[in-house]
Structure 1
Amino acid sequence: MSVRIEENIWITMSDGCRLGARLWLPETAHENPVPAVLEYIPYRKRDGTRGRDEPMHGHFAKTGYAAIRVDMRGTGESDGHMADEYLKQEQDDALEVIAWIAAQPWCTGAVGMMGKSWGGFNALQVAARRPPALKAIITAYSTDNRYTDDIHYMGGCLLNDNLWWGTIMLAYQSRPLDPEIVGAGWRERWLERIESMPFFPALWLSHQRYDDYWKHGSVCEDFSAIECPVLAIGGWSDSYTNSVPRLLEGLKVPRLGIIGPWGHVYPQDGVPGPAIGFLQEAVRWWDHWLKGRDTGIMNEPMLRAYLEDPIAPEGTRTFTPGRWVGEAVYPSANIQPHSFYLASDHRLAERPGGQADLSIRSPQSHGKAAGEWMGTGCVGEMPTDQRLDDGSALVFETFPLETEIAVLGAAKLHLELSSDAPVAQIAVRLSDVAPDGRVRRVSYQVLNLTHRDSHEQPEALEPGRFYDVEIVLNDCGHHFLPGHRIRVSIATAYWPTIWPAPYPATLTIRTGESVLELPVRQNGAASPKIAFEPPAHGPLAPTTQVDPGAIRRYSLQDHVTGETTYVTEGIGGLFGEGILRFDEIGTQLCHSLKRELTIRDDDPLSARYVLSQSYEMGREGWIISVSTRTHMHADRDNFYLSGTLTAFENGELVIEREWNEMIARDLV
């Protein structure tokens, strides 16, 4: 089917704001209208996501859909300003966009919405607003709870990626409007955009508990608000996976889930592999719900999940061995809890053992083997051999297994514990110990113990008092093979993933009744054969690789000062993509960022975090560059965040911004 691409069209909102859109349209759509698929995100259709958009939306257009990629208000060439993530204004605009699309002469009136990450979030949020023309959504790598499962907090602990993402947003939102699209007024509007930009990481840090700020846009508050069918996608190497089982359980509409081994990339490009024919699967979904064709998609199991086999714990992984299984409904009766008790001899035992009080105070640098909070398919990002961290943790493990144990879902650890400090953290890892001794992390979770009962109303710990605490680990799918051991590791810090508690706490774990519950998929459980087509793509965007870029990840320990420094650096490309030029528009992109996180093992207040970033884009005669530097440290009472931003046009400084924020610690 022939496809026509419109580089930019304007969609005018009721308040006069124009949103820029890129449209892939079957040539015959004006004579024979087609359904539409909308992706609505802030990452710049013109150049930011062009390489990803072209083959995906081009494929949809070739299969009989109008594919439309819209930049949100205040992003790309769209008018206005973006003040924050997931605002009501963002949703209101989406409702108008969907109504506009449905009314176009080339559209049948049926609209689907899809997206990954931000686009997956707002697909759920907009579905909960129930626009009449929205008939189905696909949400990939998103969450139903903005507090527990986004890039800001985890288990009530502050993720260090809050500053990383906030710093990236400073650069992203400082990118200029393209004069080839908006004309002579681009420069004035660009400077206005930078002047009005908030200091994103401080904005999010000012909400340290699950308050109304986070409840807005968290569809878990009312699953019944979503009345259209939902296809939810997750990846075990990604950080946005827990929402898939929760959506399957909480929604009442027709729904399906697919969880593969991938990081934060669409499954047709999935890394670690195997990638799948996700675009064909999406078309099956759209054909069923937007065209009324019986494609068999709703005969698939409610959950299709990849059970991973053991693999060496190396930082770079391009493929994960395993197999696909299907559960007709989820939660599934095929998956039942299997208990292992924490014993006084550090065993995970089938029956409760003797009671003992075992204590742990980890060095503050514990967590160096964690890898990235969010995998994206980069080199060096995966968790490495957990023996590096297990020496500073309290470890319990089984004897070598005699039979296979297949785990699918969320493991739970029930602990009886006490702390010697009023604010403390716990980091729990579930690992697979191979016969040769290497240890691969299968799942993990962190918990701010002041949030043990509630993320809305945290309470300080009473030192010395024992509490019953449940830690729900991240969902996982894994085969523990005969001869392997199951290991649980408990620590009091997880740097550089989370910011440390204000005290170097010692936790005491009481064995005997403390128990690990694994979601074990029963041996012999019936599973239909799960098969996906090979990955397919539409035509690629013509692109020149100007420079391959580089990725560096390392940690250093100073044995004089006791300071550990953890460094990651993307040179030329934030995620290893290097310096690219989109040939059709002549625009070249270069994005570099360096993170430096330092801490001393004996002092959580020694933590320091510095990010240095540069973003350059443009073409001959129009070169824009933005540099940022952000810094964070804390004392027992406050967080201190600072940042600077400088922007240049053709080498000349045009604007500077500076931020300095002090934010009170709220039991974090």
Structure 2
Amino acid sequence: MSIVGQFPRLVVEEPDMGIVMPDGCRLSARVWMPADALADPVPAILEYIPYRKRDGTTPRDEMMHPYLAGHGYACIRVDMRGNGESQGLMEDEYTQSEMDDAVAVIDWLSRQPWCSGTVGMMGKSWGGFNCLQAAYNQSKALKAVISVCATTDRFADDIHFKGGCLLGENFGWGAVMLSYSSRPADPALRADWREDWLARLGAEPWLAPRWAAHQARDDYWKHGSVGQDYTRMQTPVLIWGGWADNYMNTVDHLVRNVPAPCQGIVGPWVHQYPHTAVPGPQVGFLQISLRWWDRWLKGVENGAEHDPAMRAYMIHSAPPDASAAYRAGHWVAEGEWPSPRVAERVLHLGDGVLGDAPQPFRVGVNTAQHLGMHTGEFFPMGLNAEMPGDQRGDDALSVCFDSAPLDAALDLLGAARLRLRLSSDQPLGFVVVRLNDVAPDGSSVRIAHGMLNLCHRDSMENPAHMPVGQEVGVEVVIDQTAYRLAAGHRLRVALSTTYWPFVWPSPKAATVTVTGGALTLPVHSGSTAGWEAPPAEHAPPLALRQIRAPRARRVIEEDMLAGTRALVVETDEGAFENLSHGLVSDETLTERWEVKPDDPLSARARHVWEQKRSRGDWSVRTRAEAEMTATATDLRLWARLTAWEGDVQVFERIWDDTVPRRFV
């Protein structure tokens, strides 16, 4: 990775440009643009998120936006209303007012004297959602988007539910947003920061119960899901994903369905921008972005529209490593998608085997509640053992079906599917499928996983309880992957009825009896290095003074007296002073995910986030505590938010919500 400090055009910065919404709410923007933009107007590139441009995303902003601005663009980093230095209050994610604000900002940008009239939009995660939603809403001045780690379906492929299963991350992200949204504006930019802060705290929602209550793909989830009508996507889209992130399916969905020019790039990465993400190799995300922007915002005939429809990094077999800094592999480039070089191959489940011919078998699946502690995070961010580790321990608790050792390497590109014949002794339950690469030494690497809440076997919109004891056919769609299994390795299908803490347990430990199954694999042929990605580069990093070094801890605990197993995560982000304006940021997190192997109702999750901000004699601190438990009939989600100015407590609120378990 190289640092670039000299650009074709001199860049100037504005730390707090006001953009007033139609209702009078002032949004705050940090802006980088060429110094001569008034004389020589440039296209605008918008990044619009709630994560605070003054401290939250400042390090990554510093590396990206000056780089793009130096190549002839105005880069506008806007805090959504109720966040950072922007006025207003935040109510939920992807609300109509949030989308309306995005359209209004795009229109405002297009009419500025330093803007050429064309606007692009970029972003990762929440920002990636916003890009796609703005394109879906057909904002007139929006001419292209670049989206990283986003989704087309808020119910099927976001942090709340997956395959209809309630994700642990639904609770976890609720705790994150309770903490993130509790921070005040910077007094250096908002003289009314204290009044605004107290109003934010008083209005802040505890969102996890609201999300958990919508246990089907209803109108709440359809709102903001661009997959509801792909024909509305008339804006060119460059979509990025990572195999170590859980938004990898979006790339296939968009490239396959969007009628406008749409291209996808998926690498080995976690939930980060591809020029900084691990595992490597990192790529020149900024150079590739410039090529896209030049084509669609400046009209440069550079042939970007003829680049491959899909570029995917095919990971090669390697020993398991939950903190892998690099993954060996090669890039595959497909001129069209779906690719004609991908053909389906069917393997059948048998008595512990995975083979070419079907054979009769019958097996009951009723797995221990603590299975899944080596599966990693929903969206890992870095190297703190957040990616899937060695699956041997979880495999030993699962029901497994293994192929014979491979005579030759097997290349997969796409989504595998597993069809099962099964029955359940409970009306509520789920199955999890892990597709694993088993080396000759017995180590097991997760290639991809999929899951299905059996209440959603026929419909995500209209779930129905499983008919107890009645055999049905179901299909589990496994996540997209690009993976080369080495010769001599085995392909394993591991089945479980638990996946803690990735999925919240069913109210009773269901036994699912499987009597048949077939795995359909997307086998890629003729795979050779098809694309050479440009090397990663970025603008000079943010100047920081370290006050306390970051620290992380991730352990699995077994209490031999209480009989519990727990995943414990402790993250201290350290304390750092921003040398450009003096703000000191300090953040810590502890998570505990606890369960007894034989009792699904023992599941308990507890998170504690602390945020501190200071400058000179001024300091504030917030503490967000959250806990989730369940009974056979209800989910209980408790939270407390406390805030201090200096040493004086200025706010406290407690939530204690109960959500009926209808389908989870």
CA–CA distance in structure 2, aligned partners of residues 133 and 254 of structure 1: 17
Match of 1:484 in 2: 489
Match of 1:628 in 2: 624
Match of 2:661 in 1: 665
Contact conserved, 1:235 with 1:264, CA < 8 A, in 2? yes
Pairwise mapping of residues 454-603 of structure 1 onto structure 2 (< 5 A)?
A: 454-511=459-516, 514-522=517-525, 524=526, 529-571=530-572, 573=573, 578-603=574-599
Match of 1:320 in 2: 327
Deviations for 1:367-390, whole angstroms, at most 9, x for unmatched residues? 121111212113211211111011
**Shift in Å at residue 528 of structure 1?**
7.2
CA–CA distance in structure 1, aligned partners of residues 373 and 640 of structure 2: 29
CA RMSD of aligned residues (A): 1.1
**Shift in Å at residue 580 of structure 1?**
2.0
CA–CA distance in structure 2, aligned partners of residues 159 and 301 of structure 1: 34
Pairwise mapping of residues 71-150 of structure 1 onto structure 2 (< 5 A)?
A: 71-150=79-158
Contact conserved, 2:331 with 2:529, CA < 8 A, in 1? no
Letter in 1 for 2:519: L
Which of 13, 20, 25 matches 2:21?
A: 13
Which of 16, 41, 46 matches 2:49?
A: 41
**Is 1:303 aligned to 2:294, yes or no?**
no
Contact conserved, 1:317 with 1:379, CA < 8 A, in 2? no
> Number of aligned pairs?
656
Contact conserved, 1:372 with 1:497, CA < 8 A, in 2? yes
Contact conserved, 2:330 with 2:529, CA < 8 A, in 1? no
**Shift in Å at residue 101 of structure 1?**
0.5
Match of 1:271 in 2: 278
Secondary structure of the equivalent of 2:190?
helix
- In structure 1, the gaps of 5 or more residues are none
Letter in 2 for 1:324: W
Secondary structure of the equivalent of 2:488?
coil
Letter in 1 for 2:176: I
Deviations for 1:108-147, whole angstroms, at most 9, x for unmatched residues? 0010001000000011011111111100001100000001
Compare 89-98 and 295-304 and name the one that shifted more: 295-304
Aligned residues with identical type, % of pairs: 43
Letter in 2 for 1:547: R
Which of 172, 176, 179 matches 1:171?
A: 179
**Is 1:350 aligned to 2:351, yes or no?**
no
Deviations for 1:222-245, whole angstroms, at most 9, x for unmatched residues? 011111100000000011110110
**Is 1:384 aligned to 2:380, yes or no?**
no
Match of 1:440 in 2: 445
**Is 1:186 aligned to 2:193, yes or no?**
yes
**Is 1:286 aligned to 2:293, yes or no?**
yes
Contact conserved, 1:368 with 1:388, CA < 8 A, in 2? no
**Shift in Å at residue 547 of structure 1?**
2.0
Contact conserved, 1:128 with 1:219, CA < 8 A, in 2? yes
Secondary structure of the equivalent of 1:287?
helix
CA–CA distance in structure 2, aligned partners of residues 516 and 312 of structure 1: 24
CA–CA distance in structure 1, aligned partners of residues 663 and 76 of structure 2: 44
Letter in 1 for 2:657: E
Secondary structure of the equivalent of 1:474?
strand
CA–CA distance in structure 2, aligned partners of residues 583 and 461 of structure 1: 59
**Is 1:197 aligned to 2:222, yes or no?**
no
Contact conserved, 1:12 with 1:18, CA < 8 A, in 2? yes
**Shift in Å at residue 437 of structure 1?**
1.3
Deviations for 1:386-430, whole angstroms, at most 9, x for unmatched residues? 110111111001110001110011110000011111111111100
Which of 344, 347, 353 matches 1:337?
A: 344
Contact conserved, 1:595 with 1:611, CA < 8 A, in 2? yes
Letter in 1 for 2:546: Q
Contact conserved, 1:19 with 1:70, CA < 8 A, in 2? yes
Secondary structure of the equivalent of 1:410?
strand
CA–CA distance in structure 1, aligned partners of residues 268 and 614 of structure 2: 36
**Shift in Å at residue 162 of structure 1?**
1.2
Match of 2:266 in 1: 259
Letter in 2 for 1:350: D
CA–CA distance in structure 1, aligned partners of residues 368 and 644 of structure 2: 43
CA–CA distance in structure 2, aligned partners of residues 618 and 202 of structure 1: 32
Pairwise mapping of residues 25-40 of structure 1 onto structure 2 (< 5 A)?
A: 25-40=33-48
Deviations for 1:442-465, whole angstroms, at most 9, x for unmatched residues? 101121111111111111111211
**Shift in Å at residue 559 of structure 1?**
3.1
Secondary structure of the equivalent of 1:365?
coil
CA–CA distance in structure 1, aligned partners of residues 563 and 489 of structure 2: 35
Deviations for 1:466-497, whole angstroms, at most 9, x for unmatched residues? 11010001111100111011000001100011
Match of 2:255 in 1: 248
**Shift in Å at residue 298 of structure 1?**
2.1
**Shift in Å at residue 624 of structure 1?**
0.9
Letter in 2 for 1:608: R
Deviations for 1:340-362, whole angstroms, at most 9, x for unmatched residues? 10012x11111212x12111210
Match of 2:6 in 1: none
Match of 1:229 in 2: 236
CA–CA distance in structure 2, aligned partners of residues 612 and 182 of structure 1: 28
Letter in 1 for 2:524: R
Spell out structure 1 runs of 4+ moving beyond 6 A: none
Deviations for 1:583-638, whole angstroms, at most 9, x for unmatched residues? 11111111111111111111111111111121111211111110121111111111
Contact conserved, 1:364 with 1:500, CA < 8 A, in 2? yes
**Shift in Å at residue 569 of structure 1?**
1.1
Contact conserved, 1:433 with 1:484, CA < 8 A, in 2? yes
**Is 1:402 aligned to 2:407, yes or no?**
yes
**Shift in Å at residue 529 of structure 1?**
3.2
CA–CA distance in structure 1, aligned partners of residues 236 and 305 of structure 2: 11
Letter in 2 for 1:548: A
Letter in 2 for 1:343: G
Which of 423, 428, 433 matches 1:423?
A: 428
CA–CA distance in structure 2, aligned partners of residues 487 and 592 of structure 1: 38
Q: TM-score, normalised by structure 1?
A: 0.97
Secondary structure of the equivalent of 1:179?
coil
Match of 2:32 in 1: 24
Match of 2:3 in 1: none
Contact conserved, 1:592 with 1:615, CA < 8 A, in 2? yes
CA–CA distance in structure 1, aligned partners of residues 590 and 256 of structure 2: 40
**Shift in Å at residue 546 of structure 1?**
2.1
Letter in 2 for 1:473: I
Contact conserved, 2:414 with 2:481, CA < 8 A, in 1? yes
